[in-house]
Amino acid sequence: MTPASPRRTAGVELRGLHKRYGAVVAVVSLDLRIEPGEFVSLLGPSGCGKTTTLRAIAGLVRPDAGQVIVGGRVMNDVPVHRRGLGLVAQNYALFPHMTVLENVTFGLRMRGMQPADVMRRAHETLATVQLGKMEDRYPRELSGGQQQRVALARCLVVEPDVLLLDEPLGALDKKLREAMQVELKLLQRQVGITTIFVTHDQEEALTMSDRIAVMHQGRLQQMGRPQEIYESPQNRFVADFIGVCNFLECRVTRRENAAVVVSFEDGALATVSIPAGTAVPAEGARVVATVRPEKIVLKPAQPGFAGALHAQLDDLVYVGTAVHYHLRTAAGTRLVAYRQNNSAQPPGLLPGASVLVSWEADAVRMLPE
Ligand SMILES: Nc1ncnc2c1ncn2[C@@H]1O[C@H](COP(=O)(O)OP(=O)(O)OP(=O)(O)O)[C@@H](O)[C@H]1O
Ligand SMILES: [Mg+2]
């Protein structure tokens, strides 16, 4: 358990995982592959099947179809306690009548480990989660974040091959939650354990994960590195769920090398890069252009200027680190643009102003309509 000791960790694979509860289909033909040592988040809105997936890996939910493979071994018929997994459940509870140390040693004592070894392992693990000085306290004498770390220590102390965490930071306030995200990620790197982390918070997933699996209505929508998920969403759900995104309906008017020219509702034209390996839409096809608010450039409208989308600036919201501009096109499409608050407010960008909306060709992604 010390940082220096090499540990055994396992990859996890799901093949065609399927689970329904009566009429509710919770998980649909889910294929996932998680490499040893990787930190993967299952991300999606409430009810999308995250907990069901995690519990199926743990062995607490029996799949209707599909395989759960851990460390290359099919686990479907292996009981929970033989899978070598550590689970911190969504509504975890510490034993209130036991001290921190007793909570952490409980699992080892149940396994009949020698008392001296139990103590050594527990002390090491509590030091790793920085609770060495609080061993004799009761859960009620700890803050939310400290209780969270006890739950984590209780799980890590049995040296699982894979760590399964179900919204472990959900009950914490924003500041503590962000501090714990950094701490947990550091701890995971240090221990090197494969971790599957469930969250419905996209910022948390972007911050912590090597890769993110985005789920919606029981189906995997996209799996990729945080940057891929944010910069190249594969469908409208992913684009909308991860961060803030503007959607603009348009039509492909011309195909060029690795790019297309699209026309918007008001006749404005824009060039959109097509990333390598992506299908180029046909001329005349209706598509949806997606652009992130921080990639939009705003200028006061100039008479007679063509080649950019025109919009009206409805409102301007100051949020400290940035200014958010709320815009409306002539056809009524609402857009939002962000400007980093690192220079003076540009003149002419005031509520009621007519503005030109533009962006770099590679800042836009196209989705089929
Ligand atoms: N034991 C159960 N019996 C019936 N339906 C269930 C059961 N467990 C989950 N479901 C349903 O299955 C779907 C997926 O539930 P699941 O708990 O996996 O979602 P989740 O993504 O973890 O959501 P949350 O973010 O709210 O925790 C939901 O529609 C839920 O109502
Ligand atoms: Mg859940």
Distance CA 278, CA 234 (A): 10
Distance CA 18, CA 256 (A): 43
Provide the pLDDT for residue 3: 44
Provide the pLDDT for residue 304: 62
Provide the pLDDT for residue 6: 47
Tell me the ligand closest to 165's alpha carbon. Answer: 2
Judged by DSSP in three states, 327 sits in strand
Domain with CATH 2.40.50.140 in the chain: 244-368
Domain with CATH 3.40.50.300 in the chain: 12-240
- The protein residue with its alpha carbon nearest to ligand 1, atom 12, reads 26
Distance CA 359, CA 295 (A): 6
Q: How many percent of the chain have pLDDT more than 90?
A: 66
CA nearest neighbour of 18 among 2, 10, 29, 4: 29
Give the model confidence (pLDDT) of 46-63 as tens digits. Answer: 999 999 999 999 999 999
Q: How confident is the model at residue 5 (pLDDT cuts 50, 70, 90)?
A: very low
CA nearest neighbour of 93 among 153, 146, 159, 139: 139
Nearest-atom index, ligand 1, CA of 90: 27
Asked if 309 contacts 367 with a C-beta cutoff of 8 angstroms, the reply is no
Q: How confident is the model at residue 339 (pLDDT cuts 50, 70, 90)?
A: very high
- The protein residue with its alpha carbon nearest to ligand 1, atom 5, reads 21
Q: Report H helices in 197-257.
A: 202-208, 226-231, 236-241
Distance (Å) from CA 261 to ligand 2 centroid: 43
Give the model confidence (pLDDT) of 164-218 as tens digits. Answer: 999 988 877 788 788 888 888 988 998 899 999 999 999 999 999 999 999 999 9
Provide the pLDDT for residue 368: 73
Minimum mean pLDDT range among 154-163, 171-180, 286-295, 337-346: 171-180
Element (H, E) at 102: helix 100-110
Higher pLDDT, 83 or 265: 83
Mean pLDDT of 246-252: 93
Q: b/e map of 249-284 (b: 16 or more CB within 10 Å)?
A: ebebeeeeeeebbbebeeebebebbbeeeeeebeee
- The protein residue with its alpha carbon nearest to ligand 1, atom 30, reads 47
Minimum mean pLDDT range among 36-40, 98-102, 264-268, 338-342: 264-268
CATH superfamily of domain region 244-368: Nucleic acid-binding proteins (2.40.50.140)
Q: How confident is the model at residue 284 (pLDDT cuts 50, 70, 90)?
A: very high
Judged by DSSP in three states, 210 sits in coil
Mean pLDDT of 25-37: 97
Give CA 90 to chain center in angstroms. Answer: 16
Tell me the ligand closest to 52's alpha carbon. Answer: 1
Nearest-atom index, ligand 1, CA of 22: 4
Ligand 1 — pocket residues by CB below 6 A? 21, 24, 26, 44, 46-52, 90, 200
Topology of the domain comprising 12-240: Rossmann fold (3.40.50)
Residue whose CB lies within 8 A of the most ligand 1 atoms, among 14, 27, 41, 48, for a mutation test? 48
Distance (Å) from CA 25 to ligand 1 centroid: 9
Nearest-atom index, ligand 1, CA of 49: 18
- The protein residue with its alpha carbon nearest to ligand 1, atom 20, reads 47
Q: How confident is the model at residue 313 (pLDDT cuts 50, 70, 90)?
A: very high
